[in-house]
Chains A and B, each alone.
Chain A
Amino acid sequence: EPEVTQTPSHQVTQMGQEVILRCVPISNHLYFYWYRQILGQKVEFLVSFYNNEISEKSEIFDDQFSVERPDGSNFTLKIRSTKLEDSAMYFCASTQGPEAFFGQGTRLTVV
């Protein structure tokens, strides 16, 4: 069964450092997303991406965040200068219809 894959599964970084979270969406999907889940809280939408541009972004997705589809398969989320409050689980998703397929998540810990 096709699936969304994310790497790494866990990343620890120092405050102020840049991190790149990687995702490989399902191959025939056209819409891609990043979500965030701070520990113990709800899953929040960050950004959606279609046709090589952002379709929608939330207020969480400020100038420190960026997304890119550098090639035909990867979809990345970059956090330019991490803050302690960026510590969370980050989920990538892709869709081609009403159902969103989520990856297993990357747990980002900022120390």
Chain B
Amino acid sequence: GNSVTQMEGPVTLSEEAFLTINCTYTATGYPSLFWYVQYPGEGLQLLLKATKADDKGSNKGFEATYRKETTSFHLEKGSVQVSDSAVYFCALSVTGGYQKVTFGIGTKLQVIP
């Protein structure tokens, strides 16, 4: 089956620190990979995506590269802000008729001034 493993939080960083949230996956078939973000009290927003090996997804200063050889999709940001405080979910879906999304457990990030 499909599964996503990501580091458990919480992760606490000072403003302007470097962020890495690790994510690895197992999938039957060729997955598309995603990072979703959930701000406090809000729903799920797509942060970035990559649909094939070596693709780099990027958005709002966040980046993640689809690494097929290591089955990983680590999220990085060079300089975090207080406004980045949220829960980050790594996820995958396998291309097919429909796109059931499999989520990781989520990593809570807290950025302090």
Residues of A within 8 A of B (CB): 31, 33, 35, 41-45, 48, 50, 55-56, 91, 93, 95, 97-105
Closest chain A residue to B106 by CB distance?
Answer: A42
Main secondary structure of the interface of A (DSSP, over half): strand
Q: What is B's interface to A at a CB cutoff of 8 Å? A: 32, 34, 36, 42-46, 49, 51, 89, 93, 95, 97-106
Is the Cβ of B89 less than 8 Å from the Cβ of A31? no
User: From A32, which residue of chain B is reached at the shortest CB distance?
Assistant: B98
Given contacts A50-B97, A98-B49, A100-B93, contact A45 B43 (CB under 8 A): no
Question: How distant is A85 from chain B, measured CB to nearest CB, in Å?
Answer: 19
B99 touches A100 (CB 8 A): yes
Report the minimum CB–CB distance from B68 to chain A (whole Å): 16
Which residue on B lies nearest to A42, using beta carbons? B105
Chain A residue with Cβ nearest B32: A98
Q: How far is the CA of A61 from the CA of B45 in the complex (A)?
A: 24
